[in-house]
Amino acid sequence: MKADSRESAFFVKTAMPSYLQIENISKSYGTKVLFDRIAFNINEGDKIALIAPNGTGKTSLLRILAGKDSSDSGGSIRFLRDVRIAFLEQEYDYDPANTVARQVFTGDFDQELRAKRVLSELGISPDSLMSDLSGGEVKRVAIASMLSQDADFLIMDEPTNHLDLDAIEYLENYLKRARCTLFMVTHDRYFLDRVCNTVMEMDRGAIYIYKGDYANFLEKRDERIANYNAETDKVRNILRRELEWMHATPCARSGKAKYRKQAFWDLKSRADQAYTVSQVSMAELGNGSSNRLGSKIINCRDLCFEWEGVPYISHFTYNFQRYERVGIVGANGAGKSTFLNLLAEGDLPSIERGESVRIGYYRQQGITFNEDDTVLDVVPDTRLLGKFLFPHEMFSNRIGSLSGGEKRRLYLLTVLMKDPNMLILDEPTNDLDIVTLNVLEEYLLEFKGTLLIVTHDRHFLDRLVDHLLVFTGGGVIKDFVGGYTEYRSFITDLNASRKKESRAASRPDPAPAAGNAPAPAKPARLTWKQQRELETLEKEIAELNAEKAELEAVLGSGTDDYDLVMRSSGRYEELKKELDERETRWLELSMITG
């Protein structure tokens, strides 16, 4: 990390008909060509998402545009006028000894005011030490530093990595409103659709532009590939005729023009370029079916955990079920990763694991590879490597030469190839490209086991989970039945109702008109039907709480009656959901004044 470093901003002066024009830029690392003499334009107001597989040069292209790196072939990057650029890199360089204020503030008064506002909205104190911040909080500081520059052109490399969902939604809303030009790499499909108006694909060293959202990109990309392959088929038909000529007797061939011989080799080269979309097939990786789960998965009984006096988990009781799909959400630093560590590896009497459970644990921080090992040293199964987007020519590549996304993909493969029947995934979407994410989703949809996921990817949550465990702070964990979009809708509606009620309560009564008696107040009232429902709910909640206490007594008694324990355990989970539904409805009704 570099001492007292900040996100870069700079000016470029030129006069061109387009906002930004890129011509003939190239980048290679050793013998690997990332892109060669590519060119494209960016118009003012464009909000572009760059999509390409891991290891194809997305980050390198962003760094060249931001002035952090240079093109191997020279080329040019030209702007229409003076443009202020801000660059958000994947990894934010900072001095751990700095306060947030010293790290972000530049001495410019307006910039400092903007930075203070963004930091406040992101929940970061300027007085905090950088060394005390979590990874997600450091990312918030990086974003505040970028946004405070009030730049015309934002370049962002995976801006949602390590952010919690509240911070992602804040950044999403900010960028939707901002009158700026944007060029970013992201794997977050919801974020892409809600922020960007253009998708740029970098494929086989070429650039393709698609106006519209991600779904339009997929459709038009398929059309492009189909057209390309149709042209390839035509070339192959011509090649067959030319091949007959090339196989003619040497005497006959020698009389032909040399240009036709060269044309044959050009045709052969083109015919060999049939486009096959790289796909990850998970069928041979196993899906948990060979290790059948018993009825006992992981049982938590009054689980508590605190660190340095801060409670992260408080009196949490829950039995995870076979084939259950659970999403885990909450603010950065709320204890989600700690919770997963305890479930997967913790040695606490309040956590019991079933004997048949075989856990595959994907950690957010990844694992430490030996940088001198090859891809084949890490995963010696060449068949599986090929299925997971590692072609034969990469088998001998050293780990140190892989991109961050390629290392993540290799790590994920080491977890899945062990054929677990319970997957615990901590931010599996970070650094993975969209192609890999799509196929990983398909694999997880078919996974025959129990699934726990911590992720900030809302698309991932909506497709894969049945319910959420929400870390609300102070060690409290709430169960919400449904996906993330349903949860956010519920919270939005609830907050709107509370604000409406608060405004109504604080609004002063209007002064009566002269000579008229004061108008009688018309408080909001429950209808007769709502009143009966409220009374019924209160009775049911009391009965469910009494039953819950009885079940807890049975489960905590240490009885040897296995059948009784299993019945009680199953009913306990059902009861929790029933109780949560009734308490939520009771809260909605109780907010109506009577």
CATH number of the domain to which 28 belongs: 3.40.50.300
Looking at the DSSP bridge assignments, the partners of residue 480 are: 468
The reply to whether 85 and 199 lie within a common domain is yes
Q: Do 157 and 89 form a contact (C-beta atoms < 8 A)? A: yes
pLDDT at residue 573 in the model: 72
Looking at the fold, whether 241 and 349 belong to one and the same domain comes out as no
User: Are 174 and 300 within one domain?
Assistant: no
Q: Are 34 and 59 in contact, with CB atoms under 8 Å apart?
A: no
Of 172, 188, 212, the domain-final residue = 212
Residues 307 and 418 in one domain: yes
Q: Within this chain, do residues 69 and 150 fall inside the same structural domain, yes or no? A: yes
Q: Is the domain of 86 the same as that of 179? A: yes
Domain span at residue 541? 525-590
Look at residue 280 and tell me if it is in a domain: no
Contact by Cβ (8 Å): 222, 214: no
Which of 201, 236, 271 delimits the end of a domain? 271
Cβ(51)–Cβ(434) under 8 Å?
Answer: yes
| Same domain? 102 vs 181 | yes
Residue 264: the pLDDT is 57
Q: How many residues does the chain have?
A: 594
pLDDT for residue 500: 80
Compute CA distances 136 → 4, 333, 429, 478, whole Å.
19, 8, 15, 22
Residues 106 and 242 in one domain: no
Q: Phi and psi (nearest 5°) for 554?
A: -65, -45
Longest dimension (CA), the chain: 121
In sequence order, the β-bridge partners of residue 149 are none
Q: Identify whether 221 is part of a domain.
A: no
Residue 257 vs residues 245, 387, 477: alpha-carbon distances, Å: 12, 45, 79
Q: Which residues of the chain have pLDDT under 50?
A: 1-17, 255, 280, 520-523, 593-594
Same domain for 107 and 246, yes or no, is no
d(CA 577, CA 276): 47
Starting from the edge strand earliest in sequence, which strands make up the sheet with 298-307, in order? 310-320, 298-307, 351-353
Q: How far is CA 337 from the centre of its chain?
A: 16
pTM listed for this prediction: 0.72
**What residues are paired with 469 via a beta bridge?**
328, 479
Is 309 in the same domain as 345?
A: yes
Kindly give, in sequence order, each residue whose CB lies less than 8 Å from that of residue 468, ignoring residues fewer than 6 positions away: 326, 327, 328, 329, 461, 479, 480, 482, 483, 484, 487
Q: Torsions phi, psi of 475, nearest 5?
A: 85, 0
In a domain, 338, yes or no: yes
- The number of domains in the chain is 4
Residue type, 546: A
For residues 380 and 469, state if they share a domain.
yes
Residue 282 C-beta-side C-alpha neighbours within 13 Å:
24
pLDDT value, residue 3: 40
**CA-to-CA distance for 457 and 199, rounded, in angstroms?**
19
Query: Are residue 384 and residue 419 in the same domain, yes or no?
Result: yes
Which helix (H) or strand (E) element contains residue 564? helix 562-590
Give domain status of residue 514, yes or no: no
> 232: how many CB neighbours lie within 10 A of its CB?
17
Q: What is the dihedral of CA 568, 569, 573, 575, to 10 degrees?
A: 10
Q: How many helices (H) and strands (E) does the chain have?
A: 18, 18
pLDDT at 14: 39
Separation of alpha carbons 443 and 384, rounded Å = 14
